[in-house]
Structure 1
């Protein structure tokens, strides 16, 4: 099972990419019927919620202020986070991790998450690499890592919190 990575900071692009690779590994683990799917899902929920919320509160606003991405890109990324969170909640609500329903909901989450990672790496992280100084990327990486750690420590992946996050997104 992939351990939850501590995000120690550094270049924000590299910190976010490390999480993206971790998400892909967690999805692989969830596809494996012999893995402890409940434990992997709990870790995935925690990191996914912390990652998205830290991006939305710390990374996207800074990239927007620095003109690396525009308001439309921020809105699109936040919409994709909301879709991923809905798919995550649907998977978390499946009681039998060995059921066909679990496999179906896992496929939906995998599709949403894989699509978002691809687009974010091309449309958000590439401009961050080219339009933001190394100093700002490092400061932003540290800020992102601190917020991500705070959210993880708060238990943000608990199903009650995931339900709150999804409900708040649906109110927008």
Structure 2
């Protein structure tokens, strides 16, 4: 059994409560969920490196990235919005994992390009979503009609 992850979580929780008891560093939003995302991300990253566990890289990067984004992202004026940042974090996770496993680079690169498009051209996406929603609002009942006809006439018992 791999004890690295459990050991890191116990170490981090111990340090967290030790710092909390002595009132050290608790003006830095350490009582928030993103801080715990960062703690778990560090634990996954240590497990990935210590145990040579390539599958732990993706949750490590995702948790670290989401924690950093939600904890400190609004502090920087150039930081992307939530959707773009999440796409970039997922892309980074795929690209880092591809360095270890030699697979997943193309998916990460495509997500990186999509994130770049959303970062530099956000109005194009907004216009597309508004048109899609207006079309969807007009024609969504057709899906129920088609599903009902399929169940009534074509479904075998």
With normalisation by structure 1, the TM-score equals 0.29
Identify the structure with bigger relative contact order (alpha carbons < 8 Å, sequence gap 6+).
1
